[in-house]
Amino acid sequence: MDLPATQPKISGKEHWTKKGDVKLFLWEKATPAARPARGTVLFVHGSSMGSQPTFDLQVPGRPYSSAMDFFAAQGFNTWCMDMEGYGRSDKKRNINCDIANGADDLEVATEYIMKAANVKQFLVYGISSGALRAAMFAQRQPARVQRLALDAFVWTGEGSPTLAERRKKLPDMIGKNRRPIDRAFVHSIFNRDHPGCADEKTIEAFADAILELDDSVPTGTYVDMCSKLPVVDPAKIDVPTLIMRGQFDGIAGFDDLVEFFKRLPNPDKQFAVMPGISHASFHQINYLTVYHILHAFFTQPEPIYRG
Q: What is the pLDDT of residue 3?
A: 76
pLDDT in tens, 148-178: 999 999 999 999 999 999 999 999 999 899 9
Q: By the 8 A CB rule, do 242 and 168 touch?
A: no
Residue 268: the pLDDT is: 97
Res 16: pLDDT: 98
CA 80 vs CA 25, 36, 151: distances in Å: 9, 20, 16
* Predicted local distance difference test score (pLDDT) of residue 27: 98
pLDDT at site 41: 98
| Res. 275 pLDDT band, cuts 50 70 90 | very high
For the stretch 232-255, pLDDT in tens is 999 999 999 999 999 999 998 999
Q: How much is the pLDDT for 35? A: 67
- pLDDT at residue 17 is higher than 80: yes
Range in 32-46, 76-90, 143-157, 175-189 the model is least confident about: 32-46
Q: According to the model, what pLDDT value does residue 1 have?
A: 67
DSSP for 102-168 reads HHHHHHHHHHHHHHHTT---EEEEEETHHHHHHHHHHHH-GGGEEEEEEES--SS-TT-HHHHHHHT
Identify the CATH number of the domain defined by range 12-298. Answer: 3.40.50.1820
Residue-range domain boundaries for the chain? 12-298
For the chain, what is the mean pLDDT?
96
pLDDT value of residue 248: 97
Residue 2 clears pLDDT 80, i.e. is over it: no
pTM score: 0.97
Task: Report the DSSP pairing between strands 40-44 and 122-127.
Answer: parallel
pLDDT band at residue 34 using 50, 70 and 90 as cut-offs: low
